[in-house]
Amino acid sequence: MGSSKHQFAIAMASAILLLGTAIVSAVTKSSEEIRQENNEKYCNGAYANKITTADELKIVLDRHQAWLHSYDTEEKRISDAGHNDPRRANLCGADLSKAELRDANLSGAILSGANLSSAILYSANFSGAYLFNTNMSGADLKHADLSGAWLVDANLSGAELLSAKLSGAILVNANMSGASLNDTDMSGVYLSYANMSGAKFELKDLPLIDFIAEAVNLDQMVYLRSPQALIKLRKAFREAGYTEQERAITSAIKHSEQWRGETVWDKVESVFKYVFFDLPTQWGMYPGRALRVLVILMGVFALPYIFALRYPNSGRIYRKWGTNNTPTVATSTTSSKRRKSAALPEGPDVLQYRWMHAILTGLQFSLLSAFHIGFREFNVGNWISRLQARDYILYATGWVRSVAGTQALISVYLLAMWALTYFGRPFE
């Protein structure tokens, strides 16, 4: 019985080990391996996972031109006869990296899963083409026509799309990181969940607002010459009610401008902007970050206060009793009689505590210092002190006073930044 249990445990452990190995190997697969596997499963092209020579490509293009001539309308091309005509270019899964396709007409061609990385596609026509999961990273697509093309899951990272036409294209979940979109026509384009990190956004026409609102890394887009396209996009987001996306575009514009200076003073100004505007709220994109930093700093500033409370020296924290403080003591009279008020201590108390009490009081003093702001009776720190059971104030001398003053100034700034960026648009 024990032997069978032991064998069963070994079998289970082996199965778990094999399952874990399979999961790890699946996770560690490269995107190219996944693309090739998908091609083997779903691609029926004759050139799948093969390097296409210039001669083979010429034959494919010539046959495709005949197909385009026979089916000269979109209605004819999407018919069963047009879809199944063997003359139609089927380069699904083909390796066309660095291929020369200048001025080629691949309108309506099947290029899903193809590798077009670093290919020369200058003025090529891909209108209505199927480019699912296609790798076009680094491709030269200047003046190319991709209007109506299906580019779902396509990789266009680093692609050059100067004056390209993508009107009506489907770019769902496409990788546009680092792509150059100078004077690109993207009217009616679906950009849902596209990665826009580092994309040079200087479009001729904006894509569909409701779909680009779903794109990711909008705040990481940049401009090289003119921010007009980003400004138009920000205005469109505002009018459509996309507040978070509007703030992301403001952050993108400011980041593009932040480090552009060349002189020493420009660099100093850039550092100033980074410290006072970028770090606290990322140019208004994250207003709540200022409050989080404020809370974290309360804990950081509490450390020197705790030290001063534990080992008072040149810097000390005092407690001064207020005039309304009336601590009472019991008397020997009967309970029906009132208790007498004890006399107030003369002068402030120098506070020195053990660690636990020092930590609690240090955090209290840090809270009061952070909100020691206001005007006359409108003082947040005074309002907080009213929550104390007894009437007293805490104040510091020496270096502790300087630290508390620094904390108060930083806290005032962070609160102001939160209020300005949450309720307004100070960076537009």
Q: How confident is the model at residue 12 (pLDDT cuts 50, 70, 90)?
A: low
Task: Report the pLDDT value the prediction gives residue 163, as an integer from 0 to 100.
Answer: 93
Could you tell me if 116 and 95 are in contact, meaning their C-beta atoms sit under 8 angstroms apart? no
Residue 369 pLDDT > 50: yes
Beta pairing partners, 395: 318
pLDDT digits (tens, 9 = 90+) for 119-131: 898 899 998 888 8
Q: How many whole angstroms separate alpha carbon 276 and alpha carbon 254?
A: 13
Of residues 333 and 257, which shows the higher confidence score? 257
Question: CA angle at residue 261 from 158 to 163, to 5 degrees?
Answer: 30
Q: What percent of the chain has pLDDT over 90?
A: 51
Question: What is the DSSP pairing of strand 200-202 with strand 180-182?
Answer: parallel
pLDDT at residue 333 tops 50: no
pLDDT at 242 over 70: yes
Q: Is pLDDT of 33 > 70?
A: no
Mean pLDDT value across residues 235-263: 93
State how far the alpha carbon of 173 is from the alpha carbons of 154, 360, 398, in Å.
Answer: 8, 51, 59
Mean pLDDT of the chain: 83
CA dist 213 → 10, 178, 247 (Å):
52, 19, 12
Which residues, in sequence order, are CB contacts of 281 under 8 Å at separation 6+?
287, 289, 290, 417, 418, 421
